[in-house]
Homo-oligomer: A and B are copies of this chain.
Amino acid sequence: MAVAISSIYEPLTENKSIELVKRLGLFDQTSQLTSKEIGDGNLNLVFHIQDALTKKGLIVKQALPYAKVVGESWPLTIDRARIESSALMKQAEYVPDLVPKVFYTDNTFAITIMEDLSELQIARRGLIEGKSFPLLSEHIGRYLAKTLFYTSDYALDPQEKKRLVKQFSNPELCKITEDLVFTDPFFDYDTNDFEEELRPSVEKIWEDTPLKLEIAKLKRKFLTEADTLVHGDLHTGSIFANRTETKVIDPEFAFYGPFGFDLGHFIANLLLNALSRKPENRIELFNHIHKTWEVFVEEFSFAWKKDSIEAYATIPGYLDHVLEKAFEDAVGFAGCEIIRRTIGLAHVADLDSIVPFNQRIAVKENALALGSELIRKRETLINTKAIIEIFTKVTS
Interface residues of A (CB under 8 A from B): 1-2, 153, 158-160, 162-163, 165-166, 169-172, 174-175, 178, 183, 187, 209-210, 212-213, 215-217, 219-220, 223-227, 310-312, 315-318, 321-322
Partner of A224, one of B216, B226, B321: B226
Nearest to A160 among chain B residues (CB) is B1
With A209-B315, A317-B213 already in contact, the answer to whether A1 and B159 are too (CB < 8 A) is yes
Are A158's CB and B187's CB within 8 A? Answer: no
Docked Cα-Cα span, A2 to B159, in Å, equals: 9
Are B311's CB and A183's CB within 8 A? Answer: yes
Docked Cα-Cα span, A158 to B176, in Å, equals: 11
Partner of A213, one of B166, B217, B315: B315
Closest Cβ of chain B to A173, distance in Å, is 11
Docked Cα-Cα span, A159 to B175, in Å, equals: 8
Nearest to A175 among chain B residues (CB) is B158
Docked Cα-Cα span, A209 to B315, in Å, equals: 6
Docked Cα-Cα span, A54 to B265, in Å, equals: 67
List, in ascending order, chain B residues with CB within 8 A of A310's CB. 216
Are B212's CB and A315's CB within 8 A? Answer: yes
Chain multiplicity (copies): 2
Closest Cβ of chain B to A208, distance in Å, is 10
Extra contacts besides A158-B175, A220-B322 (13): CB < 8 Å: A1-B159, A1-B163, A153-B220, A158-B178, A162-B171, A209-B316, A209-B317, A213-B312, A213-B316, A216-B310, A216-B318, A224-B225, A226-B226
Nearest to A163 among chain B residues (CB) is B1
Are A165's CB and B169's CB within 8 A? Answer: yes
List, in ascending order, chain B residues with CB within 8 A of A318's CB. 213, 216-217
List, in ascending order, chain B residues with CB within 8 A of A311's CB. 183, 187
Are A321's CB and B158's CB within 8 A? Answer: no
List, in ascending order, chain B residues with CB within 8 A of A216's CB. 310, 312, 315, 318, 321
Closest Cβ of chain B to A138, distance in Å, is 28
List, in ascending order, chain B residues with CB within 8 A of A178's CB. 158
Docked Cα-Cα span, A225 to B165, in Å, equals: 12
Nearest to A187 among chain B residues (CB) is B311
Nearest to A228 among chain B residues (CB) is B224
List, in ascending order, chain B residues with CB within 8 A of A312's CB. 183, 212-213, 215-216, 219
Closest Cβ of chain B to A49, distance in Å, is 36
Which 8 interchain pairs have the tightest Cβ spacing? A216-B312, A1-B159, A162-B171, A159-B171, A153-B223, A213-B317, A216-B318, A212-B315
Closest Cβ of chain B to A172, distance in Å, is 7
Closest Cβ of chain B to A318, distance in Å, is 5
Nearest to A216 among chain B residues (CB) is B312
Are B174's CB and A321's CB within 8 A? Answer: no
Closest Cβ of chain B to A62, distance in Å, is 24
Are B183's CB and A158's CB within 8 A? Answer: no
Are A159's CB and B187's CB within 8 A? Answer: no
Are A174's CB and B187's CB within 8 A? Answer: no
Are B162's CB and A169's CB within 8 A? Answer: yes
Are A1's CB and B212's CB within 8 A? Answer: no
List, in ascending order, chain B residues with CB within 8 A of A153's CB. 220, 223-224
Docked Cα-Cα span, A171 to B166, in Å, equals: 11
With A224-B226, A226-B226, A311-B187 already in contact, the answer to whether A213 and B159 are too (CB < 8 A) is no
With A162-B171, A223-B158, A225-B224 already in contact, the answer to whether A213 and B321 are too (CB < 8 A) is yes
Show 29 residue pairs from A and B whose CB-CB distance is below 8 angstroms, ordered by the A residue: A153-B223, A153-B224, A158-B174, A158-B175, A158-B178, A162-B170, A162-B171, A162-B174, A165-B165, A183-B311, A183-B312, A187-B311, A209-B315, A209-B316, A209-B317, A213-B312, A213-B316, A213-B317, A213-B321, A216-B312, A216-B315, A217-B318, A217-B321, A220-B322, A224-B225, A224-B226, A224-B227, A225-B225, A225-B226
